[in-house]
Amino acid sequence: MSVLLDVADLHVHFTLRRGLFGQEKVIVRAVNGVSFMLQPGETLGIVGESGSGKSTLGRALLRLVPATSGNMRLDGREITKLRGRMLEFRRDVQVVFQDPYSSLNPAMVVADIIGEPLTLHHGMRGAARDARVGDLLEQVGLGRHQLERYPSEFSGGQRQRLAIARALASEPRVIVCDEAVSALDVSTQSQVINLLEDLQAQTRVAYLFIAHDLAVVRHISHRTGVMYLGRMMELGPTERLFEAPAHPYTRKLLDAVPVLDPAVQKRRKAARRNLPVVELPTPTRLPAGCVFHTRCPHVMDVCRHEVPEPVPVQGGGWVACHLQSSGPKLAGRPLDALG
Ligand SMILES: Nc1ncnc2c1ncn2[C@@H]1O[C@H](COP(=O)(O)OP(=O)(O)O)[C@@H](O)[C@H]1O
Ligand code: SF4
Ligand SMILES: [Mg+2]
């Protein structure tokens, strides 16, 4: 496996100060020991409920927030603590956010929005730069003669195409897509997803595709990782993970997807009535042991004090759950040995 990005035991903690004089320190463990790899030309989907740390993981990769500990390597180069090599790094790792308004300056015309990274990273100016902007606009399906227009003159889907063109301008190795299609209607969503797939086939760019919409992630991702309270609970080939989820939390997420079948709805409603009412944990008050133990229907004694280690799963990937190392097995069965 050729490794483009290697993230090892990444932690991102925030310190909040509470109380009248800020005397009480509260630590938010937004990302709490996450490890994964990304190959060139690969899409890794990241799913998980709101607040599970998906955006913070993406922001740490983009160096928008500092890593508290752990390591990130791009092509073998350490990028966790960059000193004076920020420009080169910015070229290699780009982002497309949910709301292009926050990333596209509304006071700038398209020629400058997309041209800026061309000047910054490739020293391009004038007619040569405009020609390259035109090429990028064509590449994202917008037509090249839009250089003097403002973001407000485009539709939501077109603005997302502009954001993608801007991200592509520096010829990045990785693009973090944080809810990049979540604000779009379904047909625009599928057009933008097709575009992302075409661009990946042409350029071998890798995507870290963060989204709460499981159907979208299943469609676009080669592998998928499931986050809960700052931890990766399970990671594996997308089809295996969706067909045979090995982690109780992954199952819970998949079960939460709305269904039309009334019989299934009825069954789920009954199951919900039987669940204990618990206060949901937060990244400031993490449960000991397995962070999912306060909500897990399979909780065992060991879960309350021992953090489960990842074990490989038949069909690919791994899961961090004591059920898989000691208890009765769920669908995705572990292998006897690593590998
Ligand atoms: N800058 C910050 N300062 C303090 N807490 C933060 C900050 N950014 C995110 N958090 C907290 O970290 C946790 C994870 O947030 P986030 O990464 O946005 O989750 P997700 O994208 O999965 O919804 C949340 O509890 C959030 O409130
Ligand atoms: S380790 Fe225990 S509590 Fe955590 S998901 Fe597995 S069975 Fe549930
Ligand atoms: Mg988010």
CA–centroid distance, residue 48 to ligand 2 (Å) = 16
CA 122, distance to chain mean position in Å, is 28
CA of 101 to the centre of ligand 1 (A): 21
Written as six digits, the tokens of 323 are: 């059920």
CB atoms within 10 A of CB 125: 11
Alpha-carbon distance of 227 to 292, in angstroms, equals 11
Among 28, 31, 212, residue to substitute to test ligand 1 (most atoms within 8 Å of Cβ): 28
Dump pLDDT digits (tens) for 114-167: 999 999 999 999 999 999 999 999 999 999 999 999 999 999 999 999 999 999
Q: For the residues 38-52, what does the mean pLDDT come to?
A: 96
pLDDT: which is higher, 330 or 201: 201
Helix (H) or strand (E) holding 311: strand 310-312
Q: What is the pLDDT of residue 311?
A: 94
Q: Is 42 helix (H, G, I), strand (E, B) or coil?
A: coil
State the closest ligand 2 atom to the C-alpha of 300, by its place in the atom list counted from 1.
2
Q: Where are the alpha helices (DSSP H) in the chain?
A: 54-61, 86-92, 100-103, 110-122, 126-139, 156-169, 186-203, 214-220, 238-243, 248-255, 262-273, 322-325
What residues line ligand 1, using a CB cutoff of 6 Å? 14, 16, 28, 30, 48, 50-56, 283
The average pLDDT across 246-264 equals 83
Distance CA 99, CA 180 (A): 8
Residues 25 and 15: beta-carbon distance below 8 Å: yes
Query: What percentage of the chain exceeds 70 in pLDDT?
Result: 88
Candidates 3.40.50.261, 3.40.50.300, 3.40.640.10, 1.10.10.10; CATH matching 5-221: 3.40.50.300
Signed CA dihedral, 302, 307, 312, 314: sign only: positive
Regarding the beta carbon of 311 and ligand 2, being less than 6 Å apart is answered no
- 52-76 in b/e form (b: 16+ CB < 10 A) is bbbbbbbbbbbbebebbebebbbee
Q: For ligand 2, say whether the CB of 321 is within 6 Å of any of its atoms.
A: yes
**Location of structure tokens 């992302």:** 196
Q: What are the residues whose beta carbons fall under 8 Å from the beta carbon of 277, sequence distance 6 or more?
A: none
Is the pLDDT higher at 268 or at 154?
154
SS3 212: coil
Q: How far is the CA of 54 from the centre of ligand 3 (A)?
A: 6
- Tell which atom from ligand 1 comes closest to the C-alpha of 53: 17
Query: Are 54 and 210 a contacting pair, CB within 8 Å?
Result: yes
One DSSP character per residue, 291-309 reads: TTTTT-TT--GGGGT-PPP
The pLDDT, as a whole number, for residue 279 is 63
pLDDT (0 to 100) of residue 335: 43
Strands 69-74 and 77-78 come out as antiparallel
Going from the Cα of 296 to the center of ligand 2, the distance in angstroms, rounded, reads 6
- The answer to whether the CB of 330 is under 6 A from ligand 2 is no
> CB under 8 Å to 176, separation ≥6 — which residues?
58, 61, 62, 93, 94, 95, 96, 207, 208, 210
> Which of 56, 68, 213, 231, when mutated, tests ligand 1's pocket best, judged by the most ligand atoms within 8 Å of its CB?
56
Average pLDDT rounded to a whole number, residues 210-220? 95
By alpha-carbon position, which residue is closest to atom 25 of ligand 1?
51
pLDDT, position 338: 33
* Ligand located closest to 52 CA: 1
Place of tokens 């009535």: 273
Per the CB < 8 A criterion, the answer to whether 329 and 245 are in contact is no
Residue 176 Cα to ligand 1 middle (Å): 17
The pLDDT score that the predictor gives to residue 259 is 64
pLDDT band at 308 (very low <50, low <70, confident <90, very high): very high
- CA neighbor of 229 nearest in space, from 276, 180, 290: 290
C-alpha span between 323 and 302 (Å, rounded): 10
Going from the Cα of 228 to the center of ligand 2, the distance in angstroms, rounded, reads 12
CATH 3.40.50.300 in the chain, residue ranges: 5-221
Q: 213 C-alpha to center of ligand 3: Å?
A: 12
Mean pLDDT value across residues 303-313: 95
- pTM exceeding the 0.95 threshold for the entire prediction: no
